[in-house]
Structure 1
Amino acid sequence: AYTPMQPPIVLGMLWPGGFVRGAAPFMGCVGAGWASLILMRYNELQHGVYLKDTNGKQYGKSRIAAQEGIAKCCAARVIWNIPVLALSPLLMNRYYRTSFHAANPRLRLPVELAVCTSMIVVGIYPAQAIFSQEAAIAARQLEPEFQGLGVDTFYYNKGL
């Protein structure tokens, strides 16, 4: 028997006032991820990351490269939250309407755990793979001391 339920968070965004209900958890997770990333890598923002050429020779630290690397990491943190916070509610809403769930209500927690865990795996690894850990940046985009050294492209460790 079908029992009416509230729409999942993602669909709830379509109703009046639903945007906050649907977007608040996502924005909270993304904001927390950004805050932790910036706090953990604050030293890189202040002092820069090491730049090297294709042969591995280091040329010094660049704050601009650090900012670019951290921005890419922030973008990845937005992407990896999408499956967990958008797909999980949709999948669980479908599951709650099945006769299997009605006959086995005690399996709700294990099923939710399995779905959320699989969505984390689906989200995090591809999001981290979008940007290579070893990033390249053109010398013309960097501070003046890295221009005119005969190197067109520098490489740096973007991080994860």
Structure 2
Amino acid sequence: MADTTTTASATAASAANASPDSPPFQLGKPRFQQTSFYGRFRHFLDIIDPRTLFVTERRLREAVQLLEDYKHGTLHPGVTNEQLWSAQKIKQAILHPDTNEKIFMPFRMSGYIPFGTPIVVGLLLPNQTLASTVFWQWLNQSHNACVNYANRNATKPSPASKFIQGYLGAVISAVSIAVGLNVLVQKANKFTPATRLLVQRFVPFPAVASANICNVVLMRYGELEEGIDVLDADGNLVGSSKIAARHALLETALTRVVLPMPILVLPPIVMSMLEKTALLQARPRLLLPVQSLVCLAAFGLALPLAISLFPQMSEIETSQLEPEIARATSSRTVVYNKGL
């Protein structure tokens, strides 16, 4: 009873110092409304903010302690909503929500763009050899797999075989498609050398997109067989639905196709135009730095846009689900965790 009272008082104090830019703090809840695309976009910009990579150990301890004080109603006077939101952002960026252990820096969501951009640059290098194509596709899927594993749901133990299966499937599909398309382009006699080079630059996209779909299906195939939990408006478990699982995987797969599109399609178009400028023709050494900046900009824009397409907690009408789910609740709609 005492904990409930102190938490209520902390919430009231938080609401008192709220502002339009700093809404009342809610422990464990998103800062921005998730019902609109703009709200989800701002939420994911917070999640991928690379500045959290430079948070010191001391600052992390302070953030965790501040959230503990809020939880137990022992906040010091004058603590603002902005400070609480900032503390939660730091904790969620660095510590795994289930294990409470630090996530290795290159595999944090906030490190996805800084550590992933060099790989994107490698994927888009012109005049790739067979060995370099295989290497960059392998490195890209290895990085993706490590990020997926480091940020996995750890509440239920998952066999390592599922992770290995998804990883191998993604690597094999990515390498096979990339190598196959490169061979076809090389054998296309109708292409001029300039056209062949331009087409080769677009090869990584279908390879990565197909590998992403393969990875999602293999890693989460068990959800299609067993179903996923669906909840009513009050957060009560209604049941486990295979139909909701199909919707969740379809939305996630679509996100994984949209994500590499701007990253792997826009830079080749931009670079094909920039390479014709007098500056880059006179200074070819600038090509790689300029391409790196173009890739970084495309990556930084594409990631939050893609993962903001669908809400994390998606809604579906009960009439579309299994009859036993519809009978188990009076709610017209239920929600399910789509996953990232």
- Size of the aligned set, in residue pairs, is 147
Shift of 1:56: 0.4
In structure 1, how many angstroms separate the alpha carbons of the residues matched to 2:268 and 2:289? Answer: 15
> Corresponding residue for 1:18?
none
Indicate if the aligned counterparts of 2:202 and 2:265 stay in contact, CA closer than 8 A: no
Question: Once the 2 structures are TM-superposed, how far is the Cα of residue 81 of structure 1 from its aligned partner?
Answer: 2.1
Q: 1:146 aligns with which of 315, 320, 325?
A: 325
1:16 equivalent in structure 2: none
1:74 to 246, 253, 267: 253
Gaps of 5+ in 2: 1-191
Between the aligned partners of 1:36 and 1:107, the Cα distance in structure 2 is 36
**Could you say what secondary structure the match of 1:121 adopts?**
helix
Amino acid of the structure 2 residue aligned with 1:154: V
Higher strand share: 1
Structure 2 length normalisation: TM-score?
0.41
Q: Which has the higher contact order (CA 8 A, sep 6+)?
A: 1
Q: CA RMSD in A?
A: 2.0
Q: Check if 1:6 corresponds to 2:186.
A: no
CA offset digits 1:13-47 (Å, max 9, x no partner) = xxxxxxxx676432211110001111221222221
CA distance in 1, matches of 2:224, 2:283: 52
| Greater CA drift, 47-56 or 74-83 | 74-83
Deviations 1:24-74 (A, max 9, x none): 432211110001111221222221111101100011211110110110111
Report which of the two structures shows the higher radius of gyration computed on alpha carbons: 2
AA of the residue aligned to 1:152? R
Aligned to 1:107: 286
Q: Which amino acid aligns with 2:335?
A: Y
Q: Please, which runs of 5 or more residues in structure 1 have no aligned partner?
A: 13-20
TM-score by length of 1: 0.82
Q: What amino acid does structure 1 have at the position aligned with 2:331?
A: V
Alpha-carbon distance in 2 for matches of 1:36, 1:111: 31
Corresponding residue for 2:69? none
| Rounded Cα–Cα distance in structure 2 between residues aligned with 1:147 and 1:103 | 68
Matched residue type, 2:255: A
